[in-house]
Structure 1
Amino acid sequence: MSDLYTSDTSEEEIVRPRRQRRRRRKRSRFGSFVAVLASLAVIGAVLGGVYYGGSAVLNSVDGLFGEPEDYPGPGTGEVPVTIEEGATLRAMGATLVEAGVVASQDAFIAAADQNPDARSIQPGNYVLRSEMSAADAVAALVAGEGGERVSLPEGLRVEQTLERLAEASGFSAEELQAAVDAATLPEYAEGEPEGFLFPASYDLGGDVTAQSLVDGMVARFEQAATDVDLVGRADALGYTPREIVTVASIVQREVRREEDMPRVAEVIYNRLSGACAANGVPEQRLQMDSTVHYAFNDYSTVYTTQEQRQSDSPYNTYRVSGLPPGPIASPGEAALGAALNPSSDGSCYFVAVNLETGETAFAVTEADHRANREILDAYCRESDLC
């Protein structure tokens, strides 16, 4: 190791190099500062280019895809939807997309932006359609008045219908029965409401009264009757419109799969005509458990007892030939259509063999029907649906 300074070096010579080093350090620091600024400027320029370039790309993509995906509408069927308390329009859109009501969340939001009343949509239960246009979905929610609706399934008798209406609407059973008594039914109903309160969804909000609710149900039946040409087709088949509604009500109660309904209607007509006499059906008897269930107001099982089948009720089609006195339930449009357009398979018997799926087996002969009944009996030994 050697010494930095020798003994004969002057003080002035020592100080001067130190000052020069300080000045060089100051210049070096200033240069670094300028370099940093220059680098930041370059980075900023690059980021700006990325931003504007990215925006251009995104705008180009938006232009490529155009408007958000939307259904043309008006939609089909009925889809129950719940709008939760505090839901935003975006949350509503997500709910509707998940339910299959609208095609995209963005289309719903865009439609809501165009509807000045969209911000007034209330939480509640709504019944919308599958694959609606976003604008129609927004309008339906706006008009829903909190989603106060009641849905009535096919196959209910008047008593059951009024019970459901009373529970959902707040109207008393007495108010609803008075409304039914005062309703103007089709002339061919012969003053009896059974079968003529159409199963559908009905609004309960706003100015709805017990009378307007019931009148709406009758009007909806008349619309369906017009759609299937009930009066004209009944005459062509040689039956009255009321008799066709009676057939449809039995069809509705006996099977739930629409594809089976025309075949059940044919069995009914084959039995009424006597075409099944050679296959073991006596005296034009329908022998339908559904009519016996109606007579006893007992729907606890698919079977009927020997005692029930021996009753004197005019609805006991095991003992009484021909149709029962009137409808036994409210049929939907599919059952009405089936009663007017039966199949032509030659069947005289049918029985449900799987109550979970609704699978139904048809037969021409009594022997084949007994084999099908054994399938049902085996199913019922393993199932609590019977």
Structure 2
Amino acid sequence: MSDHEPYGVDHGIHDDASIVPGHGPADAHSHTRRGGSRRGRRRSGCLPVLVVLAVLVVGAVLAVRTVDVSNPFASDAADFAGPGSGSVVFTVAGGDSISVMARNLEALGVVASAEAYVEAADADDASRGIREGVYRLKKKMKAAQVVDVLVGGRTRGTSFTFTPGKTVEEVLALLVKDTGITRKQYDAVLADPQELGLPPEADGSAEGYLSPGSFVFFPDDDAATILSTMVARTVETLDEVDLAGAADRLGYSEHDLMTIASLVEAEGSLLDETGKAKIARVVYNRLADPTAETIGRLQMDATINYARGEKVAVPSQAQIDEVATSPYNTYTMAGLPPGPIATPSRDAIQAAIKPVKGPWFYYVTVDLDSGKTKFATTYDDFLALKAELRDYCATKSDRC
């Protein structure tokens, strides 16, 4: 990975007998015998000395240049004593040269100088063992220690990517599988909302608050660090979109808005931002008018799946009846379920706090492959959309 190779330079300085005269005094005496002037003798006597001095000066310059060229970075490059302190996340990207890594490490305050890291990495070709990835380092480390950490793969992170729409159970199953931390350890953290960093509106439950997205976790990260990192990103997102302000404006609690966002995500994960905002409008329309045909019930399949702990594309009537008394059964219970049923994406949160205007009370995803969804205002129009879905299922029975 190194782009720093020593230059091939001859360090020797060779004497040349034809340049350094060995019989200068004899020459001077002969000039005197031949009647040369004193001035001429002086010129003749100084020339060899000047030539010698010129050679010595040139030799000295060459010697200096030889050292500089063979080792562009001075041997006394600034370096920290180590072992360092704090925590710095450092990424080695594919194709990064040693000099690029050196500059990045210096910019982060990990090493005192890029030169010190290059020298350490070039020693015994140590840099050949450095792999791309994300590493946890410290500030003010000795350059050789940094190389040891990168070559040994110590504190090398593992990347995790969680798609939106997952439940806490699904997230934990993935973490237990890939981190080596037990479910019991994760459950202990989930039981302590304060350690988890949950906001007050979460009401003590992490459901909906384990942020989706990409994360890098390190071997020394424990269950509390991992889960609190995911919660912290959700809190950051909610601050950015001003969930509290939206709750005041819409007349719902922050907890309600997160619940709505999770419903939007679970029901419309394949839709764009506008499609999600239309699903949010259906939710608000049904909640606002309990005298409408839907009598205040949301009738969402995703809530049935959550209550049953199993995801199916279209729950049967028997499956709906199976959880008839569950507070998450929105076919039998009016209003919102007790809380979120999945982790919402940022788009779903935006849809919940900024629903589009519209008269819709119904929607049907008529193509389960593409997520194509159509919206309706009346029950009769809704039945027509259900017939369209039945036609789709007749040819794609494996999807329904």
Common topology (TM > 0.5): yes
State the distance in 2 between where 1:273 and 1:291 align: 19
Structure 1, unaligned runs of 5 or more: 1-82, 84-88, 94-106, 127-140
Pair 1:324 & 2:337 matched: yes
Corresponding residue for residue 16 of structure 2: none
Pair 1:350 & 2:358 matched: no
Residue 111 of structure 1 deviates from its aligned partner by 4.2
Instruction: Choose which of 158, 171, 174 in structure 2 pairs with 1:164.
Output: 174
Pair 1:263 & 2:278 matched: yes
Asked whether the equivalents of residues 159 and 217 of structure 2 are also in contact (C-alpha less than 8 Å), the reply is yes
State the distance in 1 between where 2:157 and 2:219 align: 11
Corresponding residue for residue 151 of structure 1: 161
Residue 123 of structure 1 deviates from its aligned partner by 4.8
Corresponding residue for residue 133 of structure 1: none
Query: Superposed, which structure 2 residues align to 1:248-259 within 5 Å?
Result: 248-256=261-269, 257-259=271-273
Task: From the superposition, tell whether residues 109 and 363 of structure 1 become closer, same or farther in structure 2 (CA, over 3 Å).
Answer: farther
State the distance in 1 between where 2:278 and 2:309 align: 26
Corresponding residue for residue 241 of structure 2: 228
Question: Secondary structure of 1:208's partner?
Answer: coil
Question: Secondary structure of 2:373's partner?
Answer: strand
Corresponding residue for residue 385 of structure 1: 399
Pair 1:371 & 2:381 matched: no
Corresponding residue for residue 302 of structure 1: 313
Percent identity for Structure 1 against Structure 2: 37
Task: From the superposition, tell whether residues 144 and 247 of structure 1 become closer, same or farther in structure 2 (CA, over 3 Å).
Answer: farther
Aligned AA (2:201) = Y
Residue 385 of structure 1 deviates from its aligned partner by 2.4
The superposition leaves residues 1-42 of structure 1 with CA deviations (integer Å, 9 ceiling, x where unpaired) of: xxxxxxxxxxxxxxxxxxxxxxxxxxxxxxxxxxxxxxxxxx
Corresponding residue for residue 362 of structure 1: 375
Asked whether the equivalents of residues 162 and 177 of structure 1 are also in contact (C-alpha less than 8 Å), the reply is no
State the distance in 2 between where 1:352 and 1:317 align: 18
Query: Superposed, which structure 2 residues align to 1:1-386 within 5 Å?
Result: 92-93=94-95, 111=100, 114-115=103-104, 119=127, 121-123=130-132, 146-182=156-192, 183-256=196-269, 257-259=271-273, 260-274=275-289, 277-278=291-292, 280-281=293-294, 283-299=295-311, 301-310=312-321, 311-383=324-396, 384-386=398-400
Residue 186 of structure 1 deviates from its aligned partner by 0.8
Residue 178 of structure 1 deviates from its aligned partner by 1.3
Aligned AA (1:309) = I
Corresponding residue for residue 13 of structure 1: none
The superposition leaves residues 14-73 of structure 1 with CA deviations (integer Å, 9 ceiling, x where unpaired) of: xxxxxxxxxxxxxxxxxxxxxxxxxxxxxxxxxxxxxxxxxxxxxxxxxxxxxxxxxxxx
Paired residues in the alignment total: 266
Aligned AA (2:340) = P
Residue 315 of structure 1 deviates from its aligned partner by 0.8
Question: Secondary structure of 1:353's partner?
Answer: strand
Following superposition, which runs of at least 4 residues in structure 1 exceed 6 angstroms of deviation? 107-110, 141-144
Asked whether the equivalents of residues 121 and 146 of structure 1 are also in contact (C-alpha less than 8 Å), the reply is no
Question: What is the Cα-based RMSD across aligned positions, in Å?
Answer: 2.8
Asked whether the equivalents of residues 258 and 335 of structure 1 are also in contact (C-alpha less than 8 Å), the reply is no
Question: Secondary structure of 2:350's partner?
Answer: helix
Task: From the superposition, tell whether residues 329 and 322 of structure 1 become closer, same or farther in structure 2 (CA, over 3 Å).
Answer: same
State the distance in 2 between where 1:360 and 1:239 align: 26
State the distance in 1 between where 2:348 and 2:99 align: 40
State the distance in 1 between where 2:154 and 2:344 align: 26
State the distance in 2 between where 1:341 and 1:350 align: 18
Question: Secondary structure of 1:360's partner?
Answer: strand
Aligned AA (1:229) = D
Residue 122 of structure 1 deviates from its aligned partner by 1.9
Question: Secondary structure of 2:224's partner?
Answer: helix
* Length-normalised TM-score, structure 1: 0.63
Asked whether the equivalents of residues 367 and 389 of structure 2 are also in contact (C-alpha less than 8 Å), the reply is yes
Residues 283-292 or 304-313, more deviating: 304-313
State the distance in 1 between where 2:352 and 2:221 align: 33
The superposition leaves residues 240-272 of structure 1 with CA deviations (integer Å, 9 ceiling, x where unpaired) of: 100100000100100122331100000000000
Asked whether the equivalents of residues 197 and 232 of structure 2 are also in contact (C-alpha less than 8 Å), the reply is no
Aligned AA (1:160) = E
Residue 287 of structure 1 deviates from its aligned partner by 0.7
State the distance in 2 between where 1:248 and 1:378 align: 30
State the distance in 1 between where 2:392 and 2:99 align: 52
The superposition leaves residues 302-330 of structure 1 with CA deviations (integer Å, 9 ceiling, x where unpaired) of: 11222333311111111111001111111
Asked whether the equivalents of residues 298 and 331 of structure 2 are also in contact (C-alpha less than 8 Å), the reply is yes
State the distance in 2 between where 1:306 and 1:288 align: 13
Aligned AA (1:122) = R
